[in-house]
Structure 1
Amino acid sequence: MTHDGMSSLQIAKQLRKVVSERTVRRWQHMYRSTDTIDLKTPAGRPRIIRTKSLIRKVKNRFIYKGRQSARKLVNSRGISKGTIGRIIHEDLHLHAYRVIVESILNDEHKQRRVSFTYWYFELGGIFNRQNDRVYAPSRYYADEHKGTKPTAKFPKKTYGMACGIEKWSFTSNYL
């Protein structure tokens, strides 16, 4: 279009105002000087924080340290929470998955679960799974790499609670 002698205003009108006249003028200037409109350097402010070296350091931290929280990365690297979030999600394509707590059961425990109505409550609050995350590209990968946390069948402070219903009355709970 520039070779045809069209002005930047005419080109902008033909593009139906998708791009501004100023952008068309900039493209024409770049085309006249370099015969291409490819950008040599990205327009705008240069990256000073989210560099390739920082992305590599964060990736290595996840590889070698295993379970790592974004908050710990923010504190150790001295950068903002948003920057770490963009590095994790946009650059490394990782997602946060909750750690799954699995019971270690043997055959006897499985039989007990089937034959009795017992509920076990852990009162210690030793493991708070809502704050523990594993960053991985998929749930399958997270499960393979420290995404499951085995726990004992009977924790330290455990109470068994049973409830019985008779024909005409409801028996109370006993410990």
Structure 2
Amino acid sequence: MKSKDLQNIALSKCQSGDTSTKNFRDLNGGIGLRTIKRWCQMIRQTDSITLSSPPGCPRSARTKENIQKDYVPIKKVVEPSLSDDQKMKRKKFANWIRTNFRIEETMRILFSDEKFFDIDGVYNSQNDRVWAVDRADADADKNGGIKQKRKFPQKVMVWLGACSKGVTPLVILDEGTVDHVLYIEKVLPVALKYGNQVFCSDWVFQQDGAKPHSHHLTQQWCRDNFPSFIDEDHWLPNSPDLNPLDYSIWDELANSINWSKVQSKTTLIQQIKSSFKNIRESVVFESCASFTNRLYRLCQIDGNYLR
């Protein structure tokens, strides 16, 4: 089948609402998935497929001899460096949870975390692209081809709790340095009120080992007020892969923010508050429900970091 015929089929199917993947499958490999995605992008932007040159070299037969020569770019993943001692502690923690908590009890854990958001937003150099003939195209830079970053961008710290029932109210910590006094005053009462509302008196509070959390007055407040909590001797440092907020929910919030509207700390806070409402309940539930499975996987991979 000629390339033009493939383009016409792809155009018709894309305009009918078919996804790039369905297009690829229906064409039975007649054209590459990456090319189909590029065509669909063109169709969404211009309602047509306009190519300045043929769509690539002829496909070569995939044999045992040449299949090993096919390379694809793989983005590097940043993850914490774990020592052997930390890996051992992670396995010990996983076994402690699995021994002392039934699955239904882990669904009553209120996870919590803080995160900095700055006004430069979320920028992924691999995925953030603009369409242009080349970099010299006059419109390329005007249409977002340049991402400027400030040397010292304004930022704000956000606290959030999450459990199988949903997320707590958002706490914006904009008073400068967050110490144990501010944490006890502004954050812990929010967690306590929410946990009691959704679980009555049968639930567990989780926090990481940050200094405001591990302070002896914070630990004492938790002992005096929460029905149960994972104390500083049990929760592991350097383990964001075990907190649903870190491995899922923060991304859900960040991707909901309209970063084009963020020009100052004030507009950043406004966007965080409005986008917070768009966090999907299904994402929160599935993230928390996967906690025990992640612990099982952690034991299988000898305490290494979960991707």
**TM-score, structure 2 as length reference:** 0.19
**TM-score, structure 1 as length reference:** 0.30
* Higher share in helix: 2
